[in-house]
Amino acid sequence: MLPARVFAVAPLALVILGLSGCSSWVCTDTTAQRGKAGVRVQVVDTDGQPLRVTAEVVDWRLEPHPQTPSEGDLVFFHYRFDGASKISGPAVDACAVDKERVALGCQTVYSSQGWPRPDGAITGENWFGVEDPEQVAEVLLIPNDQSYDRRTCETDIKDGGGIHPPEQPSRGDQL
């Protein structure tokens, strides 16, 4: 028979192990669902919860980059983040799409790379190339925050795992 002290201490030992993280023997990775793309979006975290930040494509056009005009037309766009922090703000994917909203090319836009405005917004501009620039109908933003992606189970079995942002869309993805 086991002494009464062992039965009294056992629940406490289980609580300590649980709080220390030793109880999670299985590491799992999941990917968040991609939100609906738009010209103006409410940025969401990996749980789909709003971050109180909006991101917007203010304008866009096709034109050669002044430093590399021989490359032909590139997508040039201005963006705006409202409610974002310059230091640790969110990032969203910007995609040039055709008239059916099929991605022609995408690039991640970081609010931290923009410039603070007097009204508190952060604005910036970016360039990226697409294979068929003449097909670009608009530039859309995907609302999922891409600024933080925790370690995966594959890279760190003890501290990795959890929900990760959706993969960046690639050419041909329907948005």
Report pLDDT for 20.
40
Residues of the chain with pLDDT under 70: 1-25
Report pLDDT for 23.
44
Report pLDDT for 140.
98
Task: Tell me the DSSP string of 89-109.
Answer: --EEEEEEE-TT-BEEEEEEE
Verdict on whether the full-model pTM lies above 0.85: no
Report pLDDT for 155.
85
Report pLDDT for 4.
57
For 4-26, the pLDDT digits (tens) are: 554 555 555 444 444 444 444 68
Read off the DSSP letter of residue 112: G
